[in-house]
Amino acid sequence: MELQQIKQRFGIIGTFSGLERAIDIARQVAPTDLSVLISGESGVGKESFPKIIHSLGIRKHGQYIAVNCGAIPDGTIDSELFGHEKGSFTGATDTRKGYFEVVDGGTIFLDEVAELPLSTQVRLLRVLETGEYMRVGSSKVLKTDVRVVAATNFDIPTAIKKGKFREDLFYRLNTVPITIPSLRERGNDILLLFRKFASDFSEKYRMPSIRLEEEARQVILNYEWPGNVRQLKNVTEQLSIIEQEREISATVLVHYLPDYQKSRLPALIPRDGVSEDAFNSEREILYKVLFDMKKDMTDLKKLVAQIMDSGHVGGDIEKEHEGIIKKLYTRGEENPLAPDSQMVPQAPIRSNRDEERIMDTEEIVEESLSLEEKEKELIKKALEKHNGKRKYAAQDLGISERTLYRKIKEYDIE
């Protein structure tokens, strides 16, 4: 079957090379009995690929079943997969066949396979290697002929290092790896998917299809889409139902995109005893302060270079660098990023607009060295700037609204 035919049959939209490569691998491996491990972020559409493999393979007339390993409690997962005997545990009133017995001769898709408990991983490894298993509460060995396709959004090598996933099972499942690209990697595929979803919801709800203005198209292309295709579909449905205007502007669109203005900051490792949420919020604010200070230093270097060339501060230079000059000669509300203890010059250079000569003076300003106080001060300033509107204050600070609410409560900010 041709690539385009596969896309049409399974509802896959896009022309991104990484996506087409994944489809091509699924097509090639389908006629074999090799185990396949599909990896990719949550919401990228991993569930379509086991169906491709099953439908194009020699087991297409057998049964196909998808099992979400993360949705089944640890205490019953063995029973669900391998079955149980009557009386083997409390509530086992009858003998029950497991999925591996029911789907004999077909294909079983184990979604979120990294969620399996270690004891179940041992049973699964035996099935993959020998085709043998035992029901819970039984000593009788049963045989099954099932093809296993697994999927995960976890970094399994990392899980192996932490002792949460068996290395031998990983290599047994990973006979043929297929990696599904995230939505943010797929470029113009995002626009194709949006138009398809908009058309589907237009037909479903019997209303005109929504369209994106040019700036809005740039917004969805630049957004990171942490929820991938699933999130894009949900956003399109919300816009289709809620918005009265069928032409969606960038201003309207960003209200449906969480953390659109959030800075892309480097990832660090939390300290022991510090919650991840608290660590992330402090890190975000600290990096914002550092990045702003770096920009100020760049502006200051440029100003000094121009002063050295001209020998004085001319009107043009003063106008061009008005922002950094103000920060040099003011503090408090106008200079929230000033160092905690600094030398504040009163008038070290001469302006053409002020002929009066002012002698250089300096004073030592002692301020709190507490990062907590600086964080509290920045939050207050952001709230004042946006007249108490927490949503916009959070965007300005580069943190989520939830983090801002928690910090306001923590610092008892009015």
Q: What is the DSSP string of 144-206?
A: ---EEEEEESS-HHHHHHTTSS-HHHHHHHTTEEEEPPPGGGSTTHHHHHHHHHHHHHHHHHT
**Is the pLDDT assigned to residue 87 strictly greater than 80?**
yes
Ranges 19-23, 169-173, 199-203, 336-340: which has the least confidence: 336-340
Is 3.30.310.10 the CATH classification of the domain at 3-181? no
Mean per-residue pLDDT over the chain, rounded: 83
Crossing angle, helix 371-385 and helix 390-397, to 10 degrees? 130
What is the model's pLDDT at position 172?
Answer: 96
Contacts of 309 (CB under 8 A, 6+ apart): none
**Cα atoms in the Cβ-side hemisphere of radius 13 Å centred on 251:** 1
Q: Per DSSP, what are the bridge partners of residue 133?
A: 142
DSSP assignment string, 26-81: HHHHTTS---EEEE--TTS-TTHHHHHHHHTSTTTTS-EEEEEGGGS-HHHHHHHH
Q: What is the CATH code of the structural domain delimited by 184-254? A: 1.10.8.60
- Of the pLDDT bands very low, low, confident and very high (cuts 50, 70, 90), residue 354 is very low
**Range among 86-95, 292-301, 309-318 rated most confident:** 86-95
> Looking at the chain, how many residues does it have?
414
Choose among 192, 264, 172, 177: nearest CA to 232: 192
26 vs 7: CA distance, rounded Å = 12
SS3 290: helix
410 vs 412: CA distance, rounded Å = 6
- Specify the DSSP class assigned to residue 349: S
The 10s digit of each residue's pLDDT in 205-219 is: 999 999 999 999 999
The 10s digit of each residue's pLDDT in 100-135 is: 999 999 999 999 999 999 999 999 999 999 999 999
CB 147 within 8 A of CB 108: yes
Contacts of 305 (CB under 8 A, 6+ apart): none
What is the model's pLDDT at position 135?
Answer: 95
| Mean pLDDT confidence for 375-396 | 83
**Is the pLDDT assigned to residue 346 strictly greater than 60?**
no
Rg, Å, the chain Cα set: 30
Report residue 298: phi and psi, to 5°: -65, -45
| Mean pLDDT confidence for 372-400 | 83
Torsion of CA 270, 276, 281, 282, to 10 degrees: -30
Q: Cβ-count burial of 169 within 10 angstroms (0-12 exposed, 13-18 middle, 19+ buried)? A: buried
Sorted by where each begins, the domain ranges of the chain are 3-181, 184-254, 265-414
H helix runs in 353-400, sequence order: 371-385, 390-397
pTM, 2 dp? 0.63
The 10s digit of each residue's pLDDT in 43-53 is: 999 999 999 99
Choose among 185, 159, 172, 152: nearest CA to 49: 152
